[in-house]
Amino acid sequence: MGGGDAWEPVQRVRTYEQVMHQIEQRILDGKLRAGDKLPSERDLSASLGISRASLREALRVLEALGIIEIRSGAGPEGGAVLVDSPGDGFVNLLKLQLALAHFDQNDVLETRVALETWSCWEAAYRANEADFTELAAILDRMDDDSITAAEFNTLDAAFHVRIADATGNALIAHMMGSLRTAIQRRMVDVYATLADWRETAKTVRSEHREILRALIDRDGDRAASLVRFHITSFYTNNNLGGLLT
């Protein structure tokens, strides 16, 4: 706004940022798409007029963001390929942001509530019979008393993310899955501190069954309020405030 004649600080643009920008532009222009292979390091560094070391830094960034997959080997199998579905970039980022306390456990809890109440609400209208069958199958596996706390936690996360999948929204499902993965190790640690995690598991199981019942009944209001209670009471009852961040 205002003062169009003001000096502006010079922005230093990194080489890898320019490479990322050019790749993004080519994707937007339809010249590159998911599944395509980037030119070889030698050709690409020559075309971009940068050193191979600089190019490799840019490729590492794209790999860490889950945008390209770098396959080893010379010949047609090797090289950098644009991937067609979101990878671990968001998880890598979130783990570090949580470790640095950019966000705290209550922020994560509330973000789960925001995404999961929306998901339950919408899944109640959008889910089909195949979704309900898969959700029930996950809950059946959680009823197996021989599984470990870590396996129980993995299935727990799968149930929640599967509800988001049933809405058809890939971004919300990806965010939910990434949030769960980012806090997973600590969730398992938390289960380990419980006097008897199998008691907690009983509550989790019965609440999951109620949520699935509400989805099958196409009652979005009830499903949303059940999941809100399920998430917040798990944190409160198990006093996870300090443990999850």
Residues at the site binding its own copies, with contacts judged by CB under 8 A: 1, 14, 16-17, 20, 23-24, 27-28, 33-34, 53, 56-58, 60-67, 82-86, 89-90, 92-93, 95-97, 99-104, 106-108, 110-111, 113-115, 117-119, 122, 141, 147, 151, 167, 169-172, 174-175
CB of 218 to its own copies, least distance (A): 19
CB of 136 to its own copies, least distance (A): 17
Q: Would you say 112 or 195 has its CB closer to its own copies?
A: 112
62 burial (CB, 10 Å; 0-12 / 13-18 / 19+) is buried
CB of 62 to its own copies, least distance (A): 8
Q: Would you say 79 or 86 has its CB closer to its own copies?
A: 86
Q: Would you say 195 or 242 has its CB closer to its own copies?
A: 242
CB of 213 to its own copies, least distance (A): 23
Q: Would you say 55 or 204 has its CB closer to its own copies?
A: 55
Distances (CA, A) of 239 to 66, 157, 200, 226, 234: 34, 19, 12, 20, 8
Which residue intervals of the chain are DSSP H helices?
A: 15-28, 41-48, 52-64, 89-99, 105-126, 129-142, 149-166, 170-193, 197-216, 220-237
Q: Would you say 147 or 216 has its CB closer to its own copies?
A: 147
Residues 6+ apart with CB under 8 A from 126: 166, 167, 168
Q: What is the dihedral of CA 144, 147, 150, 153, to 10 degrees?
A: 0
CB of 90 to its own copies, least distance (A): 6
